[in-house]
Amino acid sequence: MRELIFYLLIIGAGTGGELCVSRAMKAVGEVKAFRPTALLGVAARALRVSWMWVGLALMGTAFFALLAVLSLENVSLVVPVTALSYAAGALGGKFFLGEQVSRRRWMGVLLVCVGVAFVIMGRR
Amino acid sequence: MNSTAGPHFKTYLLILLMVIFGPLGNVLLGKGMKQIGPVNIRAAEALDLLSRVLTSGTIWLGIASLITFFVAYMLVLSWADYSYVQPASSVAYGMVALLAHFVLREVVTPMRWMGIVIICLGVVVVGQTPPRTTEPT
């Protein structure tokens, strides 16, 4: 039960965080210059977008949930299960960012889910 | 080195760094957290737990490793396609299992290996779809 909560936080908060950061970076605009000073400017602009702060907070939560679950479970179980974030990402991309998720991408997501099921069933 | 070897070499090198340091980071975090012991969700223990996490050398090595991974990822994405990098980096799931097996002595059952291979295939299929479907605003 405890593990389930942590996994939900890793996948939910992690993907939610990435979606918020992605949304913030789209508001900042495409990064074209990669000089250190230009990148600092991009970082400064990004930190003025409130979605960025929401995203960072969510990603931090996901990181601590990952640490917690790693104290309880094997790495060879935890990391593959976090691949479920591809499914959460496809759903979030569709409903939160308005992206069009192709049938092929759903197929890939389905494969990832089947793989995760095998990994979970592959307990000793 | 000719003009086309440069970017290819750079891309392979950074993907190699990602595939090594991402899994290594997770394995180190796993090792560090196993040393700390099972985590409970109790507010009273939170500070004590946080201090034990933040004073663990293994955890910091893991964090450094994940930062290396993240920097390599961001750098390679600045010139290579996401749809190229993402499937290439799915090898990391296999690498995690190998490291877990050989470094942490975890038992990885054949069924679990099969699941990992299927996950990698799924990530490759996801990566073959167009990386951008929304119009730039």
Confidence of residue B133 (pLDDT cuts 50, 70, 90): low
Judged against a pLDDT cut of 70, whether residue B96 lies above it is answered with yes
Residue A41 sits at the chain B interface (C-beta within 8 Å): no
What per-residue confidence (pLDDT) applies to B60?
A: 96
**CA nearest to A22, candidates A44, A41, A49, A4:** A49
Judged against a pLDDT cut of 70, whether residue B4 lies above it is answered with no
Confidence of residue B3 (pLDDT cuts 50, 70, 90): very low
- Between CA A75 and CA A90 the distance in angstroms is 24
Residue type, B28: L
Judged against a pLDDT cut of 80, whether residue A34 lies above it is answered with no
Question: Are A99 and B53 a contacting pair at CB < 8 A?
Answer: no
Lowest model confidence (mean pLDDT) among A70-74, B1-5, B74-78: B1-5
Nearest by CB to residue A71, choosing from B34, B110, B137, is B34
Confidence of residue B1 (pLDDT cuts 50, 70, 90): very low
Q: Secondary structure of B58-101 in the HEC alphabet? A: HHHHHHHHHHHHHHHHHHHHCCCCHHHHHHHHCHHHHHHHHHHH
Nearest by CB to residue A75, choosing from B100, B116, B123, is B100
> What average pLDDT does this structure show over A3-27?
87
Q: Secondary structure of chain A in the HEC alphabet? A: CHHHHHHHHHHHHHHHHHHHHHHHHHHHCCCCCCCHHHHHHHHHHHCCCHHHHHHHHHHHHHHHHHHHHHCCCCHHHHHHHHHHHHHHHHHHHHHCCCCCCCHHHHHHHHHHHHHHHHHHHCCC
**Residue B130, Ramachandran bin (φ over 0: left; ψ between -120 and 50: alpha; else beta):** beta
Chain B interface, mutation test: which of A23, A76, A121, most B Cβ atoms within 10 Å?
A: A76
> Scanning the structure block, which residue is given the tokens 């950061």?
A21
Judged against a pLDDT cut of 70, whether residue A124 lies above it is answered with no
Lowest model confidence (mean pLDDT) among A86-100, B88-102, B113-127: A86-100
Judged against a pLDDT cut of 70, whether residue B61 lies above it is answered with yes
> Which of B:91-120 have CB within 8 Å of A?
93, 96-97, 99-101, 104, 106-120
- ipTM of the complex, rounded to two decimals: 0.82
- Flag whether the pTM goes above 0.95: no
Distance of CA B79 to the CA centre of its chain: 20
> What average pLDDT does this structure show over B63-82?
83
B64 by Cβ neighbours in 10 Å (0-12 / 13-18 / 19+) ranks as middle
Q: Which two tokens stand for residue A85?
A: 């974030």
**CA nearest to A71, candidates B119, B96, B64, B50:** B50
